[in-house]
Homo-oligomer: A and B are copies of this chain.
Amino acid sequence: MTYCLGILLPAGLILASDSRSSAGVDQIAVVEKLALFEVPGERVIAILSAGNLATTQAVVTMIRQYSRHKQESAGSVENRDILAARTMFDVAQIVGSTLREVLRLNRSFVEPYGDPNGTFLVAGQIAGEPHRLFQVYSAGNFIEALGRTQFLQLGETKYGKPILDRALSPTSGLDEAAKLALLSFDATIRSNLSVAPPIDMLHYESGSFSTRTLAKYDSNHPYWTDLRQRYSDGLTALVAGLPDPQFPS
């Protein structure tokens, strides 16, 4: 399993993914699930993946190849170059159609062994439009987080949702949202073995067109260690301080 989270705020985006790939408990690996595409000063695009690793890696690799060959090739491949796409909507369409192609080629071979599907968060900003956040489904169709949707999640989404439902608001700042994202990952990791650090997190400030705020939080990261300990201690104290229910004895 996997946990990926995208938070959309007026100030920008928080995009985070865990790093565990597992095919059974004795076959685990550390993989990157956050891929970045950047033209400094002009565009930043992040693709976060969940699902069948062969499928999602193939999609990301094909998109990377399309984007490298734009000078050499023409026609259909040109249309798939996310570094040339005019809008983030067009980028989401490229991810969806590439996923459809990968599944068309592989689905029937993979299904006897397991689920071939993959899903993606596609987010970022292209000069001329605001920062945007999309979720691409296994069918290759997608939704955009608009207005009332503050976050989108992939994979093992439930353990980390209550803290976001309670504490994230439209007025949250980017730094606060980054803190909540790390607490959301902490809750997921504590309750589920299939999600594990390091956490890759991009703290994207709208209009910055830069990925220099990409951070990696492993188990020993001083800030994350301190945050988890303080939160755990604070929550224990909070719960202990709440009155107990009364029952007839």
| Residue positions of A touching B, CB distance < 8 A | 158-163, 165-167, 173, 175-176, 178-180, 182-183, 187, 190-192, 203, 205, 212-213, 215, 223, 226-227, 230-232, 234-236, 238-249
Q: How far is the CA of A173 from the CA of B238 in the complex (A)?
A: 16
Q: How far is the CA of A159 from the CA of B163 in the complex (A)?
A: 10
State the 6 A-B residue pairs at the shortest beta-carbon distance, nearest first: A158-B158, A175-B244, A162-B187, A234-B238, A213-B247, A203-B247
> With A166-B232, A175-B244, A234-B242 given, can you name 15 additional A-B contacts, CB distance below 8 Å?
A158-B192, A161-B191, A162-B163, A163-B239, A166-B235, A167-B236, A173-B244, A176-B244, A178-B245, A179-B243, A203-B247, A205-B249, A213-B247, A215-B247, A231-B242
Q: Are A179 and B247 in contact (CB under 8 A)?
A: no
Number of copies: 2
Q: Are B248 and A213 in contact (CB under 8 A)?
A: yes
Report the minimal beta-carbon distance from A7 to chain B, rounded to whole angstroms: 13
Residues on B with beta carbons closer than 8 Å to the beta carbon of A179: 239, 242-245
Residues on B with beta carbons closer than 8 Å to the beta carbon of A158: 158-159, 191-192
Q: How far is the CA of A215 from the CA of B245 in the complex (A)?
A: 10
Report the minimal beta-carbon distance from A191 to chain B, rounded to whole angstroms: 5
